[in-house]
Amino acid sequence: MRNYNKTKRTLVTGGSGFLGSHLIDRLIANGNDVVCLDNFFTGTKANIDHLLDSKKFELLRHDITQPVFIEVDEIYNLASPASPIHYQYDPIHTLKTNVMGAMNIAGLARRIKAPIFHASTSEVYGDPLVHPQTEDYWGNVNPVGIRSCYDEGKRCAETILFDHHRQYAIDIRIGRIFNTYGPRMHPNDGRVVSNFIMQALNGENITIFGSGNQTRSFCYVDDLIEGFLRFMSLDSQNHNFPRVMNLGNPVEFSIMELAEMVIDLTGSQSKIIFNPLPSDDPKQRKPDISIAHANLQNWSPKVQLREGILKTINYFDQLLIKAA
Ligand code: NAD
Ligand code: UDP
């Protein structure tokens, strides 16, 4: 049944995860009613605990590899494990989540004529030979490596959405997200920011994989979510806009610089040690965000890495205090 009161109803898949829960907070603050769909593979009830009593929030335990029938006005598709240890835990299910999930969500959007924002990734560029990465770069991806379930799954999801856009005029918006961090990251997800902070707070060795010269560009979560909302707010009836945009912070850091910053900000006595680099680990990554800047009301990240890392350290510190 259509929603005849004026309140917008939004479906967020993967809504109990790191990014999804921040997105839902913003949507509810903006007055939307939100349905959070999640299978709780990597998401936690703690991330949405504060929403459970809200009349504007509904929780649906569901796996996106199965079709979903629901009436909403817009869809954000975030369901997918995001960290290498999580997406490599059950690579077949990662593929199904990204490929069948995209098919199911595109089918839903077609039935109910709702716009979709889809969370894609900088991993579609693989180990990039073009730097910084622009949206017209097709990427350098190993189709048979240990990261392929995620990288190729996300590439296929983009194809599914673009073909639904061309064939059925589905209103799609694809954000290629670059490394994002902040409170509510999973403390044991193996990502570099969470690993380094947890290691520093626990006085353990900081594990740099490889030489530490590889680079990433880290975006604070609030900046990223602002980009999602601006992308979804574009009016497809009245103007054409690019259907795929890089979303991330273009300021590039080496992994060694990040390790030193975390040690400095935590005041930790931890020592840096060097472990082997996992296979297919991209050497460099930095988004060109000129398309997002030009189309999303001059959007660009505002939070400096030191400021965002400090907020994230405080979050993990509180988690450790609660667990003690
Ligand atoms: P996350 O692991 O914290 O959240 C993902 C959520 O999806 C979790 O709540 C998980 O339980 C849920 N989920 C996984 N498989 C599902 C399934 N089959 N059915 C229903 N729910 C399922 O990760 P995140 O960092 O919040 O990432 C959210 C999205 O953004 C993902 O699609 C990810 O690929 C993308 N992304 C994130 C980053 C980043 O740096 N955080 C970078 C690039 C892309
Ligand atoms: N990394 C590291 N130590 C860790 C975890 C990760 O040196 O404890 C490196 C990893 O090899 C990669 C970078 O940090 O080069 C970012 O890794 P992450 O898993 O956070 O994200 P992605 O590789 O997907 O960008």
Q: Tell me the domain boundaries of the chain.
A: 9-181+219-250+287-302
Residues 264-284 have a mean pLDDT of 94
Per-residue pLDDT for 2 more than 70?
no
Q: What is the pLDDT of residues 209-235, one digit of tens each?
A: 999 999 999 999 999 999 999 999 999
List CB contacts of 279: < 8 A, sequence separation 6 or more: 145, 146, 147
Ligand 2 proximal residues by C-beta, below 6 Å? 83-84, 179, 191-192, 195, 207-209, 214, 216, 255, 277-278, 281
Ligand 1 nearest atom to the CA of residue 191, by list position = 40
For residue 221, the SS3 value is helix
Q: What is the pLDDT of residues 32-51, one digit of tens each?
A: 999 999 999 999 999 999 99
Per-residue confidence (pLDDT) for residue 239, from 0 to 100: 81
Distance from Cα 102 to the centre of ligand 2, integer Å: 26
And the tokens for 77? 């598709």
150 in active site: yes
Beta bridge partners of 272: 206
C-alpha–C-alpha distance, residues 286 and 306, integer Å: 18
Q: Give the whole-number percent of the chain exceeding pLDDT 70.
A: 98
And the tokens for 152? 């190729």
Nearest to residue 182, comparing CAs of 12, 11, 25?
25
Per-residue confidence (pLDDT) for residue 1, from 0 to 100: 45
C-alpha–C-alpha distance, residues 282 and 91, integer Å: 19
And the tokens for 49? 């605990």
Going by pLDDT thresholds of 50, 70 and 90, the confidence category of residue 25 is: very high
Q: What is the pTM of this model?
A: 0.96
Per-residue pLDDT for 3 more than 70?
no
Distance from Cα 20 to the centre of ligand 1, integer Å: 8
Residue 140 to residues 221, 233, 248, Cα–Cα distance (Å):
27, 32, 19
Distance from Cα 109 to the centre of ligand 2, integer Å: 34
Q: What mean pLDDT is reported for the chain?
A: 96
- Would the CA dihedral through 311, 313, 318, 323 be positive or negative? positive
Going by pLDDT thresholds of 50, 70 and 90, the confidence category of residue 6 is: confident
Residue 214 to residues 84, 86, 87, 183, Cα–Cα distance (Å):
16, 21, 21, 24
Going by pLDDT thresholds of 50, 70 and 90, the confidence category of residue 4 is: low
Going by pLDDT thresholds of 50, 70 and 90, the confidence category of residue 295 is: very high
Catalytic pick from 87, 125, 150, 181? Answer: 150
Distance of CA 149 to the CA centre of its chain: 16
Under CATH, what is the fold of the domain 9-181+219-250+287-302? Rossmann fold (3.40.50)
For residue 172, the SS3 value is strand
295 within 8 A of 213, measured Cβ to Cβ: no
